[in-house]
Chains A and B, each alone.
Chain A
Amino acid sequence: MTNQLSMRRKRLLFWGGGLFLCLLFSVSTAVSLGSADIDPWTVWKVIITRLMGVSPQVTGVDEASVAIVWQLRLPRVLLAAVVGASLALAGVIFQGLLKNPLADPYILGVSSGSAVGAVLAILTGWGISWFGKWTVPAFAFIGACLALFLVVRLARTDAGVRTESLILSGVVVNAFFGAVLTFAISISREDLLQRIQFWLMGSFTLREWDHVWIVIPFLCIGLTVGLLMSRELNLLTLGDRPAYHLGVSVLHIRLFLLITASLVTAVAVSVSGTIGFVGLVIPHVIRLLTGADHRTLLPLSVLAGAVFLVWGDCLARSLLNPAELPVGAVTAFAGAPFFGYILRKHRHKLN
């Protein structure tokens, strides 16, 4: 019999290494794309220059390239990467906990809940004296928890959460928060309109290093929590009762993980708006490629989510150059048909 442990390690190393290299390549390529021509090699030289703290003359790059790469393009590309990673992470956790291949922050309404929270913070300016730059994420988190509570409450029956009712509850919650968003936009001042508009489709325009630094700590927390609880996530797929009889504190673990996933989603949404389907497509593809074990599924999905959204953003800003598409439109364009495909497959299995 083959050694399962070393197989899992090998699988993790092989796919993890591959995806990491792919991410490095994607980031440097994405940074080099744009109106000013900068080749990927220069991108790396700029990154090394800045990280080492040496002057541009040493590595032979000009000041203009440094400014374009470091101030304009790199933050945006890295933000796309960390947001993609966060959404994929939240998707894995939601799918595992709700035992449902169609769960995803966007479909569940958690993203739109976060968006409402974020918009509320921007419009009213509440809490800015307490939370400072964390105000928008904090409000987004409250919105996310509210949406999640509503959705699970609506979909829950004694027999657990069924796929159909979960999706329908997501539709209800999305419609409601969508209405709140529309209302907020209608009453907002002209100068705020622009800022709010992008939450509807998601975008990475005009993002800075600050935004990257907001997302990274929560992504790290989420990934750590997820990895620590990955075995429990595996056990929960067997069902609540079997997991309980194996010694899992089902309620605590579930609550803790739901809050973690909502937090990661809320922070991602607060900097980039509602970007759909990343949390749906990525975990699904990775599961097909490497199996359902959350100990590999979690880290690999995080890497793949980052790669996916880096390229999604590339398409968003280059398809209609010089105009920009919202990145949410790009992911929906790829994700919605995929959603349909999984739904059909799932129905076949049920019948």
Chain B
Amino acid sequence: MLIAEGITKLYGGKKILDGIHLRLERGEFLGLLGPNGSGKSTLVKCLTGEERPDAGTIWLEGKELFSYSRKERAQKIAVLPQEGMEPVPFTVEEVVMMGRYPYQGKWSWLEAADREMVNRVLQETGIDHLSGRFVHHLSGGERQRVALAKTMAQEPELLVLDEPTTYLDIRYQCHLLELIRSWQERKQLTVLIILHDINLAAQYCDRLLLLKEGKLVQSGKPEEVIQPTVIEEVYGVKPLVIRHPQLQVPQILLPSERKSVSLFQQTKG
């Protein structure tokens, strides 16, 4: 689906990305992890064509990414940014309709087929009751769902998400990721997601990539990546790794310098 070879990006002489190779298979749910400043966002900007890498090539379905026209590219790749959707004075329905833009010609003002599609997307994301409401009257969580509905209307083959859960409470976090997961399974969608939360990443992703200082440190299944030594090397914190009781995927707990209260009393006695 997407192949990146030797992606290197410099900012003011500093290497932000250093020869990254990666391969995204169709239908895969790939998570991108790494500490602040490790180059995750820059990598995603390169892979979506927003920034040109200083070296390296990106192939999207066998064709060089930058040889696609803007609209062609937008038919293949959709991006859901961290901040979701700005509080714009448009109705939810109007905004979701904007997702159809890559498919509309300069003169096509008729949108009957697009309308059906938009209605379906509104139902699938469970926001059809909001369709006539103005986006700037909605809460942050609701706006994030509108943003997702807009990307669904875009019918991409690759969905790229840049920390979509940052500003959401756990209810909306779960809801959003479940929606994406079910969409991915239904449509054979390929998902590339930056997540800050290692536990969420382990729970939803098929495969994880770990970045440090612009280099790929580890990639593989969650069990292979989320190991105390690997995490310690990248983040400088040695976590405790346990199994998720339901899903059997690894989950981390943060260590503490402090002994627990009961232990403290025992040693004293």
Contacts and interface: CB of A to CB of B under 8 A. Distances in A.
A245 interface: yes
Given A5-B110, A234-B90, A247 B71 contact: yes
Interface residues of B, number: 39
A6 to B, nearest CB: 10
Given A241-B81, A246-B101, A292 B89 contact: yes
Nearest to A292: B89
- Tell which of B88, B99, B106, B111 has the most Cβ of chain A within 10 Å: B88
B119 interface: yes
A248 B101 contact: yes
Nearest to B73: A247
B48 interface: yes
A125 interface: no
A237 B90 contact: yes
A5 B116 CA distance: 12
Contacts of B102: 246-247
Given A5-B111, A247-B70, A292-B89, A234 B81 contact: no
B6 to A, nearest CB: 24
Interface in B4-30: none
B106 to A, nearest CB: 7
A238 B154 CA distance: 15
B102 to A, nearest CB: 4
B94 interface: yes
A238 B87 CA distance: 8
Nearest to A287: B89
B98 A235 contact: yes
Contacts of B104: 231
A194 interface: no
A68 to B, nearest CB: 44
A314 B98 CA distance: 42
A177 to B, nearest CB: 32
A293 B74 contact: no
Contacts, number: 75
Nearest to B151: A245
Given A231-B101, A244-B50, A246-B99, A292 B77 contact: no
Nearest to A99: B86
A195 to B, nearest CB: 42
Contacts of B48: 245
B1 to A, nearest CB: 17
Contact of B131 (A1, A237, A244, A247): A1
B101 A4 contact: no
- Tell which of A4, A234, A239, A246 has the most Cβ of chain B within 10 Å: A246
Interface string A1-30: 111110000000000000000000000000
A143 B131 CA distance: 45
A163 B115 CA distance: 35
A245 B73 CA distance: 8
Given A234-B98, A238-B95, A241-B79, A248 B70 contact: yes
Interface in B103-151: 104, 106, 109-112, 115, 119, 128, 131-132
A242 interface: yes
Contacts of B115: 3-5
Nearest to A249: B70
A221 interface: no
A319 interface: no
A193 interface: no
A4 B93 contact: yes
A98 to B, nearest CB: 14
B90 A247 contact: no
Contacts of A295: 109
A4 B119 CA distance: 11
Contacts of B71: 247
Contacts of B85: 238, 242
Nearest to A250: B70
Given A238-B85, A241-B79, A247-B73, A293 B50 contact: no
A249 B110 CA distance: 22
21 contacts: A1-B93, A1-B119, A1-B131, A3-B115, A5-B110, A5-B115, A234-B90, A235-B101, A237-B86, A238-B88, A238-B98, A242-B81, A245-B48, A245-B79, A246-B154, A247-B71, A247-B102, A287-B89, A293-B90, A293-B94, A295-B109
Interface of A: 1-5, 228, 231, 234-235, 237-239, 241-242, 244-249, 287, 291-293, 295
9 cross-chain pairs, A with B, having the tightest CB-CB distances, nearest first: A247-B74, A247-B71, A245-B79, A292-B89, A247-B70, A247-B102, A246-B101, A237-B88, A246-B74
Given A2-B132, A246-B74, 12 more contacts: A1-B119, A241-B50, A244-B70, A245-B77, A245-B78, A246-B98, A247-B72, A247-B74, A247-B75, A247-B101, A291-B90, A292-B89
Interface of B: 48, 50, 69-75, 77-79, 81, 85-86, 88-91, 93-95, 97-99, 101-102, 104, 106, 109-112, 115, 119, 128, 131-132, 154
